[in-house]
Structures are given as C-alpha cells and as structure tokens.
Amino acid sequence: MTTPLQIGKYQIRFPLIQGGMGVRVSAAGLAGHVARCGGVGLIATAGIGLNSPHYDGKNFFTADPAALKDEIRKAYEIAPDGIVGTNCMVAVTNYDEMVRASCEGGAKVIVSGAGLPLNLPGLTADYPDVALVPIVSSVKAAELITKKWHKGFNRLPDAVVVEDPDTAGGHLGEKMEKIGSGEYDQYATVRGVKAYYKETWNVDIPVLAAGGIWDRKDLLHALEQGADGVQMASRFVCTEECDASEAFKQMYLDCTEEDIGLLMSPAGLPGRAILKNVENIRNRDVDLEITCPSGCLKKCSYKTSQERFCIVHALDRAQRGDVETGLVFCGTNAWRANRIETVQEVFDELFDLDNGVAKKGAVNS
C-alpha cells in the first residue's frame, strides 16, 4: 500500500500535490477532485478573480481575494475532508493579500514560488496550522529561504518542491540561457535539499519532485531517486474536472512535442507554453492599444513599456476558450495527452489502484 505523505499537520493519502495552474486552470473543480482522490489539490491564486462574478472589469484587486475564498469553499464542498491548498506566486502585486485570503478561506497548504517567499511565515503567523511549502530549483535557494524563516519567524518549511526548469510548465525559476543546457540535475538537487535539512537541521522534511511527471513510470523513478512525492500539473489539464475551457484542453490534445517551447514572460521569468499562437498574443494587445489593465505583477515589462503582452489577461482568455489570442502554459510532456480522462483515472494509473483501492504491492514512498 502507498505510504501516506506527512506535510505539517496533514497526512496525505497519496504522495502527490497537484500543481497550481493559473489563471483558473486549477480552481475549485480540479483542486477539489484531486483532494477527494487523496492528493493535495491546489487552487492557483494568480488572477483568480478574472472570470468570476466579483470582477467588473476594473476591480482586479478586490475581486481576487473574494473569488479565491469562493473557490476554496467550493473545493471543500467536493472534498469535505480533503487537503485543499493554494499556489501563491511571489511575483504578483497582491501576494501578501492572497496569502492572507488563502488562510482566511481555509487553505491547509500554501505552495509558493515564482520568486523566493521570504516573508511567507510572517503573513501566516495567525494561522500556524497552515503548511508552508516553498518551490525551489537549487539547494542554495532552499538554504536562503530556510535561514530567513528560522531567524525571522522560528519556522522551517513543512515540505519543499524542487522544480525542474528543463521540464516544468508555466513560469520557471531559472535564467533562460540555462534552461535545457544539460547542466541541471533535478534529482541531485532533490537529494541535496533532503541532505541539507537532515545535516543542518536534523529534520526529515518531505521533498517533492516537480516537472516532467506524467505517468506511473515517472512517479516510480522520482521515488527511487530520493523524492518523497511529486507535484504534477500538466497531466491534470485533460481531465473532465479541470477548470479550463474545452478549447484549452484541445490545445494539449492537438499539440506536438515541437509546439512546446520557452518564451520570456513580462514578469521577467521564462515560461514554457504551447507556442503556435504567440504572435497572435503579442499582436492583440498592440492592435487594440491596450495598456496595463490590472497592475497584477510587481515587475512587468508590459506595464512599464508595453513590451511583450499582458500575461494575466492572455492566460484568462485561453482559460475561457480564446486559444487564438490566449496563452496556454504547459510542461514538456503536454503532447502526451491523448484523451480526456477523470481525475480518479489519473490516480488509478499513477498509484495502481483498483476502484480507488491501492492494489497489493503498490507504490511505497
């Protein structure tokens, strides 16, 4: 039987966190069903207010926290006893507020990346039961975060996600020129992070591998290489319960391996996406003479100089079904999607389940 994963005070039946995918690709529908199946379901907080009843076209910062609380509530309606959390991007302008809204809404776990979440424990101080999980791509980043958290807040991470920039989707925590160079060794980093906590702090903190995880073979490899579990996102896009539009899912079903590549986000971070329509994305905002409509990012080349495009609204358009001028983020394995399945079917394949019950001799983590 699969050994449960302990993250903070929470025992997760299966060693899997569903990666956060904005804007509204992983909202209540996907996160709730992942939690119901025994994993950690994450609602991506970035731009969650767009395409919600709270948004009137002008009140981005008011709509975001209200919509997030709605989504957390709806996820718990699907999985009353499940582990529902949020993914909070450090790079967004309203990071502090969305972390607080996550706590107020009842999130049990906060996963945070796209920058170093150095003040995360301070923002969650009134909610000590909320598990805090930074995303890193190096041992150095884990050390920096941990020293800051311990010195300032007497807190250590409850788990760490090690993201492989060579395979992961969405915003990536590495310089563009280093991605795909062959220098990065994800599992050496996983083992290095685990060793750091054991040797320096004398604690066993779960370390999860993210990026390139698609099927049971990938999961088993991650566990064999020293990871305590995995975070995976792209595999869940082509599920019935995913909150993205059918057109968004069809982009995954139709794409080839060659269609997937890197672009520079206006946030100043590389991102991996399906690139077939990138020129349409750029041209739309220029043709309509759209200036920054939301101010969603702390640093944004589109906000300051109309360079590139407005990313949050490009992601929102794709989520709603406009894949001609919308941005579709994905990992390197998105081309492997060949059908729409259910979240339960994904868990059945990953963990060798029979009608939701782990078979004898299944994964040990």
Domain boundaries, the chain: 5-244+338-358, 248-320
Specify the pTM: 0.94
Q: Give the Cα separation of 61 and 97 in Å (integer).
A: 9
Identity of the amino acid at 265: S
Classify residue 315 by its DSSP letter.
H
Query: Over the stretch 156-188, which tens digit does the pLDDT of each residue have?
Result: 999 999 999 999 999 998 889 999 998 999 999
Phi, psi of 226 (to 5 degrees): 110, -5
Query: Over the stretch 204-258, which tens digit does the pLDDT of each residue have?
Result: 999 999 999 999 999 999 999 999 999 999 999 999 999 999 999 999 999 999 9
Please tell me the predicted confidence (pLDDT) of residue 1. 47
SS3 labels along 14-37: CCEEECCCCCCCCCHHHHHHHHHH
Q: Give the Cα separation of 122 and 137 in Å (integer).
A: 23
Q: State the CATH architecture for 5-244+338-358.
A: Alpha-Beta Barrel (3.20)
Does the pLDDT at position 348 exceed 60?
yes
Does the pLDDT at position 289 exceed 70?
no
Of all residues in the chain, what percent carry a pLDDT higher than 70? 93
Query: Over the stretch 16-42, which tens digit does the pLDDT of each residue have?
Result: 999 999 999 999 999 999 999 999 999
Please tell me the predicted confidence (pLDDT) of residue 300. 72
Query: Over the stretch 49-99, which tens digit does the pLDDT of each residue have?
Result: 999 999 998 999 999 999 999 999 999 999 999 999 999 999 999 999 999
- The torsion angle over the Cα atoms of residues 11, 12, 13 and 16, rounded to 10 degrees, is -150
